Chains A and B, each alone.
Chain A
Amino acid sequence: MFSRRDILKIGLASGAYGALGPGPRRRVFADNLPSSPRTTPFVVALPIAPIAQPTAAFATRADPGDCVNVDGSTAFHVHGPRVVPTNSQFFLIHEQARPHSFHPQLPANVIWGYNGMAPGPTFIARSGTPFLVRFVNDLPQNDPVGIGEPISAIHRHGGFQAEEDDGYPIDTFCTGQSRDYFYPNEPADGLVQNEESTLWYHDHAIDITGPNVYRGLAGFYLSFDAVDSIAGELDTNPQALRLPGRMVSLPSGEQFREFDVPIVIQDKLFDRNGFLVFDTFDHNGFLGDKFVLNGAIQPFFRVARRKYRFRFLNGSNARFYQLFLSNGQPFVAIATDDSLLEHPVTVKSFEIGPAERVEVVIDFTNTTLGQEIFLVNRLQQTDGRKPDGLVSPGTQLLKFIVDRDAADPSRVPDTLRPVTVGPQQLLPQVRVKRTFEFERSDGAWVINGEFFDENRIDAKPKRGTPEIWTLKSGGGWAHPVHVHLTDFFILSRNDSTPPVLERGRKDTVAIGGPDFGDVKILLPFPANFRAVPRPVTGRFVFHCHNIEHEDMRMMGQFDVQP
């Protein structure tokens, strides 16, 4: 076995700029797993997923679209046809198998994507305009690739939505079937302060979320309001922050979001012929050795000398990243997970665990034309347990090429979204605290000693009543813990004030190992949905977002009480 020091040494030796070494072997018996073939970095432009286009209104169907069970049973959550507010917009998304190029030096790989794309189309939502999205499963029943199963549940990660629309892992639909999801596009309890910012949607079906997401079933869902507005930097409303970003119409009539760039980072492994590999026998957390940004291996991105907003999502199954800029320039962080921060924070680097989002502004104003700047990951990780530590120089993920000037009416105001209902307001209402220990046990993972059971409720929080949860992990494993329905504040990490980037509203938090330790979080548990008025009640899951751990049932559920 490699010691941590060996790993760091190897990282130093093999992590030369541009050359993506295979890195040390992940495990002793993993010799059957290939290293991916060499690919020339920075020959492909960063792909930007198209914006999801609304379609004509359609009558919603009753749930389910569930799979035809031998016993004729239905989905767990059965609702509808839904009452949809008249101002809703309608979308039709097909899950499809399509050839996809990760890199021109690799053959086309048949991925599974929303509308056949990886990442899927980007939703752009405006607070107050609900969406009704019908996801249709057109995935092949007999798939020769053998990564994933053509059965789906869609989770809008970080979203505030009812239990039947949350992608509960048992509410699945199969090939030839569909399920309608209603997204209120409203902040929980009507609080402007916790309007979501960068959400994402991905598969969440029981047992097989890991391979399905790895195969491509993930996309962005960006949420805006009057403050963080779609018009962005061109907004004339005095309330608007005018952060970098604007909508432009392409000659084709399509809309495109400029200067505001969502980037999902994923790691993938390919065999010697360039075909995607996934190890269904690895339950520790699957790692790849190729870094795929918006579906392309190590792409480049041409930028103008001005400010850009980048929305980073770690869409990897198990890998953590710590991102730096090669010229030593800082990032101005403006949002984490579900919300803009109160104030922008200038950082030299930031760590991002599976499923987390960090939004940053990068200012290219003081660069020179022709300058090349690299986004670099310096966090080494050699197995699914946890990151090993920082290495130098690390791996270049993305090359920015400064190639033009452009006007920059954008701002990064000192106050972004003030916390009006935060720990000071919520804590006096807390009456219940809970402790959840995330542990490894007999070859799998448990929460408080229990594996996920579909009919066991692990917590009964009351709607509208905040709780404190302590999330612990032993045995040297890191776990990115995700709670559905409600975002939360991190009260402390290892009994200390959380670092600056962890003081905003979050929905995923890394725990465990020497670096992350234990965290204490404050969960508001919202009381009401307003778009279609009803109290917040029902079953939602919380789980480790190392998806291999999740699929091995490191998951619990809470039932929100009326």
Chain B
Amino acid sequence: MTPVATRLAGLLALVAAGCSGRPPEPPPTPPNVVATIREQQLPNIELVTHEGRRVRFYDDLVKGRVVAINFMFATCRNACPESTQHLVEVQHALGDRMGRDVTFLSISLDAERDTPEVLRGYAEAHGAGPGWYFLTGKHDDIELLRHKLGAYELDPVIDADRTQHTGLVILGNEPAGRWKAITALGKPVRIRQAIERTILPVTEWPTGAAVVNEVPYEENERGKEVVTADEVAKLLVRDP
């Protein structure tokens, strides 16, 4: 219903209640965030795993779980190899928490070519273990899912280029209603830390010095140049 229609309906209901002596409607209660996200952002589309199993996105893959979702396709040569390599490293770092505390979902943007068999080959070639599903399905369904999860470009020309959507990891703790995203192209340690911040209650989040120092200190002053006296002199004569 449009807001105006809602208001009209509410008004009519009030009038009706006044006439019949029924008690007024109870005040609205705040929405349940988990239900809202389930209804609005997590379409229950049908997918096929790299093991050939037919699954539903929400019912079978997301419900009750912590998930790390990325979009990829087997022939992608842009960000995909790096993204996948980073997720492989995260998988190793997570150890036996993979599949237990977090599930990886890598969804193909090339439904035509990425058959379950192709994806199984891709998974095996990259050493993907338990708790990591490579998924394919109907093109339109996956496009819908991609947009719902926020892996889209506002510019339709760029959005049509699927290589642009392979650099994100969408992190969700479904039962907690906690969703965010991180780049797959940052350091694997940072992806793992963000996954931990998705799994754990905030009181147990890795923060502070341990987080900073888990990656060796690095300096990269790219973009730095020495200024010449000439250049400064030119700037000085600028219009005040």
Q: Residues on A close to B: CB < 8 A?
A: 1, 27-29, 32, 34-38, 64, 66-71, 73-76, 78, 107, 109-110, 141, 144-147, 149-151, 170-172, 174-175, 206-208, 271-275, 280-284, 383-385, 423-424, 427-428, 430-437, 441-444, 448-451, 453-460, 468, 476, 491-492, 497, 551-553
Q: In the bound complex, what is the Cα–Cα distance between A497 and B235 (angstroms)?
A: 11
Report which residue of B1, B37, B154, B185 has the largest number of chain A beta carbons within 10 angstroms of its beta carbon.
B154
Residue of A nearest to B206 (CB): A69
Indicate if the CB atoms of A443 and B207 lie closer than 8 Å.
Answer: no
B 6-44 binary contact with A (CB < 8 Å = 1; else 0): 110000000000000000000111111110010011000
Q: Is the CB of A283 within 8 A of B209?
A: no
Contact A170 B213 (CB under 8 A): no
The CA of A37 and the CA of B5, in the complex, are separated in Å by 10
Closest to B40 in A: A32
Question: What are 18 of the A-B contact pairs (CB < 8 Å)?
Answer: A32-B40, A107-B27, A144-B32, A274-B28, A281-B41, A383-B154, A434-B224, A442-B79, A442-B166, A442-B183, A443-B153, A444-B185, A454-B190, A455-B217, A457-B218, A458-B221, A459-B224, A552-B183
- Please determine whether B3 and A146 come into contact, CB atoms closer than 8 angstroms: no
Count chain B residues whose beta carbon lies closer than 8 angstroms to a beta carbon of A.
Answer: 83
| Residue from the list B155, B167, B226 in contact with A431, Cβ < 8 A | B226
* 7 residue pairs, one from A and one from B, having the closest CB atoms: A442-B167, A146-B33, A73-B210, A29-B147, A281-B150, A273-B28, A32-B40
A61 to chain B, nearest CB (A): 16
Contact B165 A71 (CB under 8 A): no
Q: Are A456 and B219 in contact (CB under 8 A)?
A: yes
Q: Are B28 and A275 in contact (CB under 8 A)?
A: yes
B187 at the interface (CB under 8 A from A): yes
Nearest-CB distance from B198 to chain A (Å)?
9
> A66 vs B206: C-alpha distance in the bound complex, in angstroms?
10
Q: How far does the alpha carbon of A441 sit from the alpha carbon of B150 in the complex, in Å?
A: 15
Q: How far is the CA of A283 from the CA of B235 in the complex (A)?
A: 38
A74 in contact with B41 given A175-B203, A453-B190 (CB within 8 Å): no
The answer to whether A468 and B227 touch (CB under 8 A), given A151-B202, A171-B208, A172-B208, is: yes
Neighbouring A residues of B223 by C-beta, 8 Å: 434-437, 448
Complex CA–CA separation, A385 to B149 (angstroms): 18
Segment from B52-60, B102-110, B111-119, B174-182 that makes contact with A: B174-182
Not counting A34-B3, A281-B150, A423-B235, a sample of 4 additional A-B residue pairs whose C-beta atoms are within 8 angstroms of each other reads A66-B207, A73-B210, A433-B231, A491-B235
- Chain B residues contacting A67 (CB-CB under 8 Å) are 202-205, 207-208
Distance in angstroms between the alpha carbons of A433 and B230 in the assembled complex = 13
Q: Is the CB of A28 within 8 A of B216?
A: no
Q: Inside 8 A of B32's CB, which chain A residues have their CB?
A: 144
Enumerate chain A residues within 8 angstroms of B147, measured Cβ to Cβ: 28-29
- Give chain B residues whose Cβ lies under 8 Å from the Cβ of A431: 226-227
- The answer on a CB contact under 8 Å between B238 and A70 is no
> Assuming the A-B contacts A76-B209, A434-B223, are A451 and B185 also in contact, with contact meaning beta carbons closer than 8 angstroms in the complex?
yes
- Pick from A74, A423, A442: contact of B209, CB under 8 Å: A74
